[in-house]
Amino acid sequence: MKEKIRQLAKEKNAIILAHNYEPPEIQDIADLCGDSLELSIKASKTKADVIVFCGVHFMAETASILSPEKTILLPNTDAGCPMADMVDPVALTAKKQALGDIPVVTYVNSSAAVKAVSDICCTSANVIKVVNSIDADEILMTPDKNLAKYAAANTYKKVHLWDGYCPFHNILSAKDINKAKKDHPKALFIAHPECPPEVLALADSIQSTSGMIKFAGQSDHKSFILGTETGLLYPISKAYPDKKFYPASEKMYCQDMKKITLENLASSLENLTGEIKVPEDIRKDALGAVQKMINL
Ligand code: 13P
Ligand code: SF4
């Protein structure tokens, strides 16, 4: 199956991109694994004709926004993001207007239609830089309230929240962390900014998924508790086999990030099925917000 996928990728001039939460066999076969920011940058620069996105719907949409001339495939189109579904363009526009038309910063974990009514996008890797780059004293951040609270703690701007969250990061509690620290007293705790503030307050470092991999590599410590989706355990343990990594909680398991299989990946590549194409009127409006982030 793996040989067949690599052969098909060559024949179709396709690049396979995988998020750090994807199943191990998918990460192993990909041309590039990374966090949302790294994957969007790669999607904007590749010379391939086809981009196969092993991730969730909003990631494939972002690739379509950046590369409309390419064929973008999502091998299982049911792979969505519950947090992205917590905001829609009509409600967002109404809230923006009610707040006096202040700039909207939208997490890339959102639909293209939501990006189209936003001023700039951000990811977990660049949120503070993006927020501080805006020429306004007040902003509205959507959809992740935890990411917005993290940004608010790192800027002088007033940050208005949207009541969205990642169900798998939001369930992590201070109690879970205190238990994990008790079980692994020598380990550093690295948290993803999608976690609630009470969890971030206990973190030794706050990082995106690829940021966690880099942080673990640069640290003298030998063990780490990871406050993120458990899929990250695979690439981080592979990168540093001599270090130990423990999940902050086994409850942090995103089913949508496990919907790409070798079988549906091969079939999508062979038949060019699962195409994601953002309609041109939405794409044009969404591009401004995504491109501003990439430029920054
Ligand atoms: P990053 O890889 O950008 O940290 O994103 C985490 C995430 O939840 C993606 O769905
Ligand atoms: Fe969405 Fe959370 Fe799953 Fe990421 S881990 S795709 S934010 S539900």
pLDDT (mean) for 63-83 = 97
Please report the atom of ligand 1 found closest to the CA of residue 81.
10
Domain boundary, last residue among 165, 193, 217: 165
Question: For residue 274, how many other CB atoms are within 10 A of its CB?
Answer: 22
The answer to pTM > 0.85 is: yes
Question: For residue 25, how many other CB atoms are within 10 A of its CB?
Answer: 15
Question: Which residues does residue 246 pair with via DSSP β-bridges, in sequence order?
Answer: 225
Q: Which amino acid is at 254?
A: C
In percent, the amount of the chain with pLDDT more than 90 equals 97
Together in a domain, 75 and 15: yes
Residues with CB under 6 A from ligand 1: 20, 35-37, 109, 123-125, 166, 192, 194, 208-209
CA angle 271, 272, 273 (to 5 degrees): 90
Please check whether residue 71 lies inside any domain of the structure: yes
Please report the atom of ligand 2 found closest to the CA of residue 82.
8
Distance 168 CA to ligand 2 centre (A): 7
Together in a domain, 156 and 226: no
DSSP label of 275? B
Count of structural domains within the chain: 3
Together in a domain, 61 and 7: yes
- Is the CB of residue 80 below 6 angstroms from any atom belonging to ligand 2? no
Domain boundary, last residue among 118, 142, 165: 165
pLDDT for 24: 98
Q: What is the pLDDT of residues 100-128, one digit of tens each?
A: 999 999 999 999 999 999 999 999 999 99
Of the ligands numbered here, which is closest to the C-alpha atom of 257? 2
Contact 265, 54 (CB under 8 A): yes
- CATH number at 225 reads 3.40.50.10800
Mean confidence (pLDDT) of the chain: 97
Together in a domain, 73 and 27: yes
pLDDT band (50, 70, 90) for residue 43: confident
pLDDT band (50, 70, 90) for residue 44: confident
Give the residue numbers spanning the domain of 238.
172-251
Report CA-CA distances (Å) from 217 to 21, 172, 212, 281. Answer: 18, 24, 9, 43
pLDDT (mean) for 126-139 = 97
Positive or negative: CA dihedral 248, 161, 211, 108 = positive
Question: For residue 34, how many other CB atoms are within 10 A of its CB?
Answer: 22
Q: What is the pLDDT of residues 190-241, one digit of tens each?
A: 999 999 999 999 999 999 999 999 999 999 999 999 999 999 999 999 999 9
Please check whether residue 127 lies inside any domain of the structure: yes
